[in-house]
Amino acid sequence: MMSPARRMVWRPVAEAGAAVALTLFLGYALVDPPGPSSWLPVWAAWPVAAVMSLPVAFRRRWPQAMFAVAGSAAVLATAAGAVAAGAIWVSFIPAALALYLVASTAPLGRSAALLAGCLCAAAAAVLVFYAQVLPTLPPALERTELPPYLPVEGSAIGIFMSAAWGIGVMVRRQRFLVARLARHRAEAAVADERRRIARELHDIIGHSMSVIAVKATVANHVADLHPQEVRAAMAVIEQTSQSTLTEIRRVLGLLRSDGDPDDSLTPVPGLADLSGLVDQATSAGVEVELSVPADAALPSAVALSAYRIVQEALTNVVKHAAPTRCSITVRLDNGQAVIEVRDGGPRTPREARSAVPGGHGLVGMRERAVMFGGTLSAGPHTDGGFHVVARLPYGPVGAAA
């Protein structure tokens, strides 16, 4: 399976290859059409085919604009007679490919309106071609060739364009369902984590306070007769209380509960598990580029906190910006784990996300960073999209969390 970063590198190459292949196909159709030849010279067939096919190479970056260019080029070429007589529908293949991406990214009403506009323009252009252009073209050289037929041409264009739009709508719906499932999984993970934290706090505080209470009772009873035992009891109380405070501050490192069979089967996630989050976001329509040092070694509590921050940031990207592009960068900088998550913003206009940390997601991420004495900043980026940067100080890998 190709990694998301490699897909992002090879996808433009594949789109450019598709545009070149369509240029050759359309050019050949113009040079040797099944019906009467176009009035254009042979050499002009290739520039015309290139103009109609070029939008395919850029449709992922500007889907609606490229659909408008491809559709307009096909309509104008048809009305002007610079198309393959008897196979006019071939000229609308690039527009259909661009329409698929529009339907898979834009709201349903907008994509349906674009489809209707394109079909109306195509119908008008085909009528103009058959009524005014076709009678002026020289007859086909071979009688066995398929003759032009208006109902077939119009139906073929309608079927291809409608099929591309329908497939795009289904893909958009599937992405929505996957994104909603990812949000539900994230919410379930948060709820499960809260339950684990509650169990751990119960065990930590219950055990520690029991020890402190026993030692305080002993010290109270022997305070007059055995002052040395009082000193020893107070030392135990001091040590226990300090240890308990440390464990509470680093409660994320205590999510693995001894004696819980469910916990023993579920390892604490870390940096090595970020690829799973990337795959989930990719299936929801987010093109993710992940960069993690191969030799990155963090304490388990810090690694878990980094994982949860990335998980919450990706959930927000899927919820507010998908389909879009996103980059995740994890680097180690002078005893700090720096996590950056940046998305390119939605490809279609939406309500902007607020930079005010009022949501539970941003509050939770900030609390995870502050727990380790770190910082978290989140807000719109100057180049568009949303940018989250978390800094988590960490000690030696073998240190207690």
Q: Which DSSP string do the residues of 272-319 spell out, in sequence order? A: GGHHHHHHHHHHTTEEEEEE--TT----HHHHHHHHHHHHHHHHHHHH
* Whole-number Å distance between alpha carbons of 263 and 362: 27
pLDDT at position 41 is 67
Residue 376, φ and ψ in degrees, nearest 5? -145, 130
What the block records as the tokens of 83 is: 């198309």
Edge-to-edge strands of the sheet including 324-332? Answer: 286-291, 324-332, 336-343, 386-393, 375-380
- Partners of 375 in beta bridges: 391
Confidence check: pLDDT of 205 > 80: no
Average pLDDT of span 297-305 = 82
pLDDT tens, position by position, 378-387: 888 877 788 9
- CA–CA separation, 337 vs 33, rounded Å? 63
What's the pLDDT band for 340 if we cut at 50, 70, 90? very high
* pLDDT exceeds 80 at position 272: yes
- d(C-alpha 239, C-alpha 307), whole Å: 32
CA dist 323 and 172 (Å) reads 9
Whether residue 278 is predicted with pLDDT greater than 50 in this model: the reply is: yes
Domain 268-393, what architecture?
2-Layer Sandwich (3.30)
| Segment 293-305 mean pLDDT | 81
The string of DSSP codes covering 61-83 is TSHHHHHHHHHHHHHHHHHHT-S
What is the model's pLDDT at position 371? 80
Q: pLDDT tens digits, residue range 314-329?
A: 878 877 777 788 899 9
263 CB-near residues (< 8 Å, 6+ apart)? 196, 255, 256, 257
Look up residue 37 and give its two tokens.
């030849």
Tell me the average pLDDT across 49-75.
85
pLDDT higher than 90, residue 170: yes
- 343-371 pLDDT per residue, tens: 887 766 655 554 444 455 677 788 888 88
* Mean pLDDT value across residues 214-220: 73
**Using the 8-state DSSP alphabet, how is residue 132 labeled?**
I
Check if the beta carbon of residue 286 is closer than 8 Å to that of residue 322.
yes
Which pairs count as long-range contacts for 191-196, CB under 8 Å and 24+ apart, including other chains?
A: 193/255, 193/308, 196/255, 196/257, 196/263
> Stretch 95-120: mean pLDDT, rounded?
89
Q: Can you tell me whether residue 262 is helix, strand or coil?
A: helix
Mean pLDDT computed over 235-241: 73
Q: Pick 174 or 83 by higher pLDDT.
A: 174
In this predicted structure, which of 284-288, 360-364, 395-399 has the lowest mean pLDDT? 395-399
CA dist 146 → 30, 37, 109 (Å): 15, 13, 38
Residue 183 vs residue 37, higher pLDDT? 183
Mean pLDDT over 297-312 rounds to 84
CA–CA distance, 127 with 132 (Å, rounded to integer)? 8
pLDDT for the residue 391: 92
Residue 217 above 90 pLDDT? no
Q: Output the pLDDT for position 153.
A: 76
**Residue 398 pLDDT more than 60?**
no
Mean pLDDT of 286-311: 84
Average pLDDT of the residues in 58-83: 85
Residue 142: pLDDT band with limits 50, 70, 90? low
Q: What is the average per-residue pLDDT within 83-94? A: 80
The most confident of 127-141, 231-245, 269-283, by mean pLDDT: 269-283
Token pair of 72 as six digits: 């307009």
**Run of H or E including 338:** strand 336-343
- Cα 45 to Cα 23: distance, rounded to the nearest angstrom: 10
**What is the average pLDDT across 12-28?**
76
Residue type, 8: M
pLDDT at position 355: 43
The answer to whether the CB of 1 falls within 8 A of the CB of 42 is no
pLDDT band at 8 (very low <50, low <70, confident <90, very high): low
**What one-letter code names the amino acid at 384?**
G
Residue 286's DSSP bridge partners are: 324
Q: How confident is the model at residue 256 (pLDDT cuts 50, 70, 90)?
A: very low
As a whole number, the mean pLDDT across the chain is: 76
63 contact partners, CB below 8 Å, separation of at least 6: 98, 101, 102, 105, 106, 347
Whole-number Cα distances in Å, 181 to 25, 348, 362: 41, 22, 20
**Given a cut of 90, is residue 37 above it in pLDDT?**
no
Mean pLDDT of 230-240: 75
* Structure-model confidence comparison of residues 162 and 187, the more confident one: 162
Of all helices (H) and strands (E), which one includes residue 380? strand 375-380
pLDDT for the residue 77 = 84
The mean per-residue pLDDT over the stretch 43-55 comes to 80
pLDDT of the residue at 150: 73
